[in-house]
Structure 1
Amino acid sequence: MIQLYIKAHLKRFLIGGLLLLSSISIHAQDRVTGRTFATRSEVLAQNGMVATSHPLATQVGLDILKKGGNAIDAAIAANATLGLMEPTGCGIGGDIFAIIWDAKTQKLYALNGSGRSPKKLTLEYFKKNNYSKIPALGPLPVSVPGTVDGWFEMHKKFGTMEMKEILTPAINYAESGFPLTELIAWYMQKSIPRYQAKGFPNIEDTYIKQNGGTLPNEGDIYKNPYLANTYRKIAEGGRDAFYKGEIAKTIGTFIKEQGGFLSKKDLEAHHSEWLDPVSINYRGYDVWELPPNGQGIAALQMLKILEQYDFSKIPFGSAEHLHLFTEAKKLAFEDRAKYYADMDFYDVPLSTLLSEKYAIKRSKEIGEKASTYEAGKISAGETIYMTVADKEGNIVSLIQSNYRGMGSGMVPPKLGFMLQDRGELFSLTEGQANTYEPSKRPFHTIIPAFITKDGKPYVSFGVMGGDFQPQGHTQIVMNLIDFGMNLQEAGDAPRWDHTGGASPTGETTENKGMIRVESGIPYETVRGLMDRGHQVGFTRGAYGGYQAILWDNIKKVYHGASESRKDGQAAGY
């Protein structure tokens, strides 16, 4: 009887070394609650909520809230802690973006904290030295790190607690140490030897010598006294201690010694920018992203295209679902490659790209089979995500990254952090929107998101993972709105991505690319996608890391979620 049940209802298929479940199991209700995909229950609380990719950082944020700090104070404290505890994905050598719901004004504010390219580095330099693309590592892809200025901009506008108190937990952990988690230890074991093999200076001194002379493993007590000292200088001297003092001088001197161009003057000239976030309405919900130089509007473009289809009649995880999603992604990403860039240098046609008329026009290009597309004709142009909410109703959606994991490999001496390599994402092809120019912000992959309903906050969320991020945002919105999943289930549900197509760096693939699926996507779907002409593959670790907070405006309760692909935790009080 049991064998017949298994044969009739589970139908497991082993493909490419991964176990995939048939369509019958996609609807199985394994949990008592019937929430198919949720690995745990949502966290519920009334006074505040913190969701980050590291449990200790979550607790730091929660402690700040309990001491009387607000969501902005807690977000900065947690982010500083993550810069220490997850050096493989973030830190003060990188950039920052945030969307903040301010309870007083009942309004969303967006912060672009991305840094600009060196003023003395020109496109001509790359051409003279026969570069076809900006290298991923070394001094040339290093742009100004914007995170510290972003913290102080957020704090100046919304913060309540003294910056010294906000940074104290991260300073204490950096000096005393903390046990390294499984995931971050794995990333460090993979990343640090790669930088050592390149002969980059200060890698061993910063990440190994301070920890007993060996590369740290899971459970080892990891310290970074250099970073503690840097944080202390920032806490006492403010943002100028980083951008105008000895720290800036050390960075500029070091990069020059390595053959790069980022200077102390570049850091002195840096400033973050407050923007109005942009949105589209998706089936009655307003979904918010930052405008370019980031890629957030790609998620909005995808959603507007997918809104043209009735997903009440299209099952989650079906071939039809993934096919329509993938074709919408291809269309949006062609526009991303052509039009997304620093808006101080290029007039991005935002209103057209996000219009209903344009979405309808683009959706009509989608057929029954996999296709390739061009950008729409328009006249006139590793990472951490975290979110915090407080008892006053302030909510922060924040993302921060060094790019390519730990970053460029450039570690200034005795500062305790690595500089980002975000400049790699410029194009070296003349005449494009994202073509390299001095003092220009590169195309950016990291994007925070927010959903409002009837003018009130609904969900603050984000999904890490490079090119996957707008795809992840779209999947989360659809999981919540189209498929009725709760906050935790929406993040734990199986994911997929599409690789290939044009890139803002000027590169492209001529074929239709590949859909890569997680375990949990049924074989019936894989076969259906192949029938439509898609190439289907598998991968691990490319599907980001999701954190989210939902506000129930009727019951006045926060829901928190932290997905199972990271070490993270959602906690409230």
Structure 2
Amino acid sequence: MAGLVVAPQVLAAEEGVKVLRQGGNAADAAVTAALVQGVIDPQMCGLGGFGVALIYEAHSKRIECLAFHARAGSKATATMWADRVLREAPDGFGFFLRDAVNDVGAASVGVPGTVAGLHALLERYGTWTWAQVLEPAIRIASEGFVVSAELARSWKARERYPERPSLLQRLQLSPEAHRLFLKPNGAPYDAGETLRNPDLARTLQTLADQGPKEFYSGSVAAAIIAELETHGGHITPTDLVNYRVRWHPPVRVPYRGYEVVSAPLPAGGVTVAQVLRLLEGFDLRRMGHNSPDYLFTVAQAFKAAFTAKVHHHGDPEFVAVPVDDLLSEAWAAQWRARIAAGEVLSVPRWGSHDPHGTTHLTVIDADGNIVALTHTLGSSSGVIPRGTGFMLNNAMVGFHPLPGHPNSIAPGKARVSGMAPTFVLRDGEPVLVLGAPGGARIVSGIVQVLLNIVEFGMTPTEAVTAPRFDAQLHAIECHARIPSWVLDKVQRRGQPCVKLPQSYGGIASVQVAQYRDGRWVGASDPAGGGAAFSPD
């Protein structure tokens, strides 16, 4: 069995494959590639971020979830932003607050989990040393990397609403970010230009020499606290020292003779499982891929699951979430009957924003061990602790800014996210691995690619390139390649449809690996600029 690495960044996938070729296992390669992603995609992920990983250990067939979510600082409270709310976002995703205090700046930062998470993954499942897995990231940060077309494009993209700072505006907020990631004239780097980050190289070398504790209680921690305390952050030195990862059993749900396994709350696997539980009662193959009936039915299933997310989802350490009820046949049957009767559903407004700045990677080694890892900075806070070279997350934007909601702020609490690394098992062994960046749209992307393969027999490449749609509120938003006459038929049923300007992208960047004909094959969403490489 040959291995495989799939990632939205070619260089990260290449470095992961090098580890497999040098005898490292899936955990070694995943940690190495994730650290490289933090260098070459500096506003999507990095040392200041957080995430979740789903791990399959081949010899024991054990599957567990490693959660390294960011957590609210001990000085944060549920009411601290109640008087700053300006309005709900017109798209339903979150609130706009005065001075965007939940979205950018020191107050938007949650306690980072990525360093602790990657080290925990390596310690439990890896064979390489911490210093070994850091070496490629150190080298690339020091020598520089060629800015990809996708990264350059992200720096020039505009947000939908002026109250949400763009990625470029986030860079412009911090003198450190301006110095490291912008040219002397203030312009972002263009595709094909080389970007070096010697500050990050030094930080990574310090972590290699001193270990991950340096991030949480040493010189790196001191730099983080100095930056946050100066500008009104909610994180204390004790918050960093006390940060711990969590190991959880995954969410499991049957589907068409397979078992689907995903990341539990506060990640997005419960929502993936709910959609599939509901859809198993419909004959999707008979409907036909992206037919009017298929679009209508799958979109309503999304809206049913997202409604449950709005009403119930939060950090299970802080709120009681009725997960068993939400995954029950009774829940699915109730919503299935409404959809079958032709009801057009609407999702209540979210009240919290799930940012789109995220990345993912999947690694499978020759022994069949698997790591599917999704990690993020949110959409980045714009804050870089002086001299460190890495940006901190803006995890706090993912909380509801008012008290009384399952996803309201509390000290030490993790916000709900859409991250959902997912396995599909046959006879107890993975045959399909999926994951994606894409914020709240991760679920929509993963479910559709899964259905493309399981229901319609597509190859991984066909599955990630087929046009997709999303339904988060009331209207269905569709890739431009879904024909207008299909949308017209859906709209005659009372379901509004909106054709997006893009033919690819915007609805998660799905990374997929499938076990086919005795070997693993993979594909990276073409909109993301990534790759799937085998060490053969």
| TM-score, normalised with respect to structure 1 | 0.85
Structure 2, unmatched stretches of 5+, are 88-94, 158-165, 350-356
Partner in structure 1 of residue 179 of structure 2 = 205
Note the C-alpha offset of 1:99: 0.4
The SS at the match of 1:565 is helix
CA distance in 2 between counterparts of 1:323 and 1:556 reads 36
Partner in structure 2 of residue 364 of structure 1 = 337
CA distance in 2 between counterparts of 1:373 and 1:443 reads 17
Question: Contact 1:48 / 1:391 at 8 angstroms: preserved in 2?
Answer: yes
Question: Contact 1:95 / 1:145 at 8 angstroms: preserved in 2?
Answer: yes
* 1:335-371 C-alpha deviation (Å, 9 max, x unpaired): 1011111110012111111112221122112232523
Question: Contact 1:447 / 1:469 at 8 angstroms: preserved in 2?
Answer: yes
Question: Contact 2:445 / 2:509 at 8 angstroms: preserved in 1?
Answer: no
Matched to 2:103, the amino acid is A
- Give yes or no for the alignment of 1:560 onto 2:534: no
- Give yes or no for the alignment of 1:441 onto 2:403: no
Partner in structure 2 of residue 85 of structure 1 = 40
Partner in structure 2 of residue 162 of structure 1 = 129
Sort the Cα spacing of 1:97 and 1:196 in 2 relative to 1 into closer, same or farther, 3 A.
closer
Note the C-alpha offset of 1:115: 1.8
CA distance in 2 between counterparts of 1:287 and 1:130 reads 39
* 1:444-487 C-alpha deviation (Å, 9 max, x unpaired): 22221111111011111112211111111211121111111112
Question: Contact 1:317 / 1:522 at 8 angstroms: preserved in 2?
Answer: no
- Give yes or no for the alignment of 1:176 onto 2:143: yes
Note the C-alpha offset of 1:435: 1.3
Matched to 1:201, the amino acid is P
Question: Contact 2:24 / 2:127 at 8 angstroms: preserved in 1?
Answer: yes
Question: Contact 2:79 / 2:401 at 8 angstroms: preserved in 1?
Answer: no
* 1:54-90 C-alpha deviation (Å, 9 max, x unpaired): 1111110011111111000000111111111111311
* 1:395-448 C-alpha deviation (Å, 9 max, x unpaired): 1111111112xx011111111111111111111332221111111111122221
Question: Contact 2:434 / 2:511 at 8 angstroms: preserved in 1?
Answer: yes
Match of 2:74 among 100, 108, 119: 119
Sort the Cα spacing of 1:372 and 1:150 in 2 relative to 1 into closer, same or farther, 3 A.
same
Matched to 2:72, the amino acid is S
Question: Contact 1:142 / 1:423 at 8 angstroms: preserved in 2?
Answer: yes
Note the C-alpha offset of 1:264: 2.1
CA distance in 2 between counterparts of 1:54 and 1:196 reads 21
Question: Contact 2:444 / 2:507 at 8 angstroms: preserved in 1?
Answer: no
CA distance in 2 between counterparts of 1:85 and 1:63 reads 17
The count of corresponding residues between Structure 1 and Structure 2 is: 504
Question: Contact 2:112 / 2:392 at 8 angstroms: preserved in 1?
Answer: yes
Partner in structure 2 of residue 393 of structure 1 = 368
- Give yes or no for the alignment of 1:185 onto 2:152: yes
Sort the Cα spacing of 1:124 and 1:545 in 2 relative to 1 into closer, same or farther, 3 A.
closer
Give the aligned CA root-mean-square deviation in angstroms.
1.9
Matched-pair identity in %: 30
Structure 1 segment 304-343 matched on structure 2, within 5 A: 304-343=277-316
Partner in structure 2 of residue 216 of structure 1 = 189
Partner in structure 2 of residue 571 of structure 1 = 533
Note the C-alpha offset of 1:373: 6.1
Partner in structure 2 of residue 287 of structure 1 = 260
Answer with 1 or 2: which has the greater Rg: 1
Partner in structure 2 of residue 471 of structure 1 = 444
Sort the Cα spacing of 1:534 and 1:129 in 2 relative to 1 into closer, same or farther, 3 A.
closer
Partner in structure 2 of residue 534 of structure 1 = 495
CA distance in 1 between counterparts of 2:465 and 2:213 reads 41
Partner in structure 2 of residue 351 of structure 1 = 324
Matched to 2:360, the amino acid is Y
* 1:128-181 C-alpha deviation (Å, 9 max, x unpaired): 666775622122221011111000110111010111111111111111112111
Question: Contact 1:88 / 1:187 at 8 angstroms: preserved in 2?
Answer: no
The SS at the match of 1:136 is coil
Note the C-alpha offset of 1:213: 7.4
Question: Contact 1:449 / 1:460 at 8 angstroms: preserved in 2?
Answer: yes
* 1:212-247 C-alpha deviation (Å, 9 max, x unpaired): 975311100111111111111111222101111111
The SS at the match of 1:457 is strand
Question: Contact 2:310 / 2:348 at 8 angstroms: preserved in 1?
Answer: no
The SS at the match of 2:253 is strand
CA distance in 2 between counterparts of 1:289 and 1:412 reads 34
Note the C-alpha offset of 1:536: 1.6
CA distance in 2 between counterparts of 1:465 and 1:124 reads 29
The SS at the match of 1:125 is coil
Partner in structure 1 of residue 209 of structure 2 = 236
Matched to 1:549, the amino acid is A
* 1:235-261 C-alpha deviation (Å, 9 max, x unpaired): 122210111111111111101111222
CA distance in 2 between counterparts of 1:429 and 1:520 reads 39
The SS at the match of 2:284 is coil
Sort the Cα spacing of 1:200 and 1:158 in 2 relative to 1 into closer, same or farther, 3 A.
same
Question: Contact 2:306 / 2:347 at 8 angstroms: preserved in 1?
Answer: no
CA distance in 1 between counterparts of 2:527 and 2:82 reads 42
CA distance in 2 between counterparts of 1:128 and 1:523 reads 44
- Give yes or no for the alignment of 1:410 onto 2:390: no
CA distance in 2 between counterparts of 1:373 and 1:444 reads 17
Match of 1:547 among 506, 511, 522: 511
Question: Contact 1:112 / 1:272 at 8 angstroms: preserved in 2?
Answer: yes
CA distance in 2 between counterparts of 1:96 and 1:329 reads 23
Matched to 1:186, the amino acid is R
Note the C-alpha offset of 1:499: 3.2
Partner in structure 1 of residue 359 of structure 2 = 384
CA distance in 1 between counterparts of 2:83 and 2:306 reads 31
Partner in structure 1 of residue 478 of structure 2 = 517
Partner in structure 1 of residue 231 of structure 2 = 258
CA distance in 2 between counterparts of 1:179 and 1:571 reads 19
Note the C-alpha offset of 1:334: 0.9
Partner in structure 2 of residue 11 of structure 1 = none
Matched to 2:498, the amino acid is G
Question: Contact 2:449 / 2:510 at 8 angstroms: preserved in 1?
Answer: no
Question: Contact 2:306 / 2:472 at 8 angstroms: preserved in 1?
Answer: no
CA distance in 1 between counterparts of 2:197 and 2:260 reads 39
Structure 1 segment 5-84 matched on structure 2, within 5 A: 46-84=1-39
The SS at the match of 1:499 is coil
Question: Contact 2:67 / 2:247 at 8 angstroms: preserved in 1?
Answer: yes
CA distance in 2 between counterparts of 1:193 and 1:383 reads 16
Partner in structure 2 of residue 16 of structure 1 = none
Please say which of residues 385-394 and 426-435 is displaced more in the overlay: 426-435
